[in-house]
């Protein structure tokens, strides 16, 4: 379960997959292959109503969704197995990372796909929820490189991965429409019913530890990621025409 929005609809399943599922994997490694290297996909959603900005590995968690709560469990059980059984189990606390492969249930892909459909005349309106929340968006390919680097380290550890820059959903929408020469205000409608029961106002990463220990840095801006996504969706829809 990787969707915050879906976790509200499937709260119990989210706990089974995203929380207890991690324990099952770690227990299997402990019993059958303790020399294996394990990567836990932790999440910036664990910070939730963040106690400080930006958020680092030392920032307390305050999750605001079933997804965030389950991720916090998965994160701490990974720390426990690492410290208790000596497993090489690292957690990457990844902030939002996007690419043209992002699932269509996620807001970034809904935006890029919706903009592509409007550009090609297949739609005229993009309906979204809260446009004012802010997130730290990066490029998924670079974040996977950070995951790989974690598993090459002699000792397992936890690392925040992000760009250190936050943007609002409104910024992202305007960037997406600009990619195809359109204006967001001409096509976007806000539907309050699409807002989550509880949301997070602002998340932004402090990835100092990753830079210093992994030698990792982001190189692709939010604007560049959005352009990749919009262009890919336009091309995909044109092929289906």
Residues serving a catalytic function are: 43, 45, 67
- Determine the Cα–Cα distance for residues 145 and 128; give it in Å rounded to an integer: 31
Q: How far is CA 196 from CA 64, 136, 166, 170, 191, in A?
A: 10, 19, 20, 16, 11
210 alpha carbon, distance to own chain's centre: 17
Burial 11-25 (b: 16+ CB within 10 A, else e): eeebbebbbeebeeb
Look at the chain and count its residues: 241
């Amino acid at each position: 379960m990787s969707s915050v929005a879906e976790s509200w609809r499937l709260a119990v399943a989210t706990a089974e997959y995203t929380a207890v599922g991690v324990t099952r994997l770690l227990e299997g490694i402990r019993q059958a292959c303790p020399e294996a290297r394990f990567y836990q996909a932790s999440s910036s959603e664990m910070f939730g109503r963040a106690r400080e900005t930006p958020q680092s590995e030392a920032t307390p968690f305050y999750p605001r969704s079933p997804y965030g709560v389950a991720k916090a469990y998965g994160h701490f059980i990974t720390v426990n197995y690492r410290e208790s059984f000596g497993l090489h189990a690292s957690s990457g606390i990844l902030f939002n990372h996007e690419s043209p492969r992002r699932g269509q249930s996620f807001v970034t892909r809904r935006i890029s796909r919706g903009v592509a459909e409007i550009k090609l005349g297949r739609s005229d309106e993009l309906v979204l929820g809260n446009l004012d929340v802010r997130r730290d968006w990066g490029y998924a390919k670079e974040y996977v490189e950070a995951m790989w680097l974690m598993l090459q380290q002699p000792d397992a550890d936890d690392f925040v991965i992000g760009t250190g820059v936050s943007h609002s959903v409104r910024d992202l929408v305007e960037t997406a429409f600009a990619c195809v020469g359109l204006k967001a205000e001409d096509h976007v409608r806000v539907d309050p019913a699409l807002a989550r029961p509880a949301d997070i106002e602002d998340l932004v990463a402090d990835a100092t530890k990753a830079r210093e220990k992994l030698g990792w840095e982001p190189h692709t801006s939010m604007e560049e990621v959005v352009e990749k996504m919009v262009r890919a969706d336009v091309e995909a829809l044109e092929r289906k025409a």
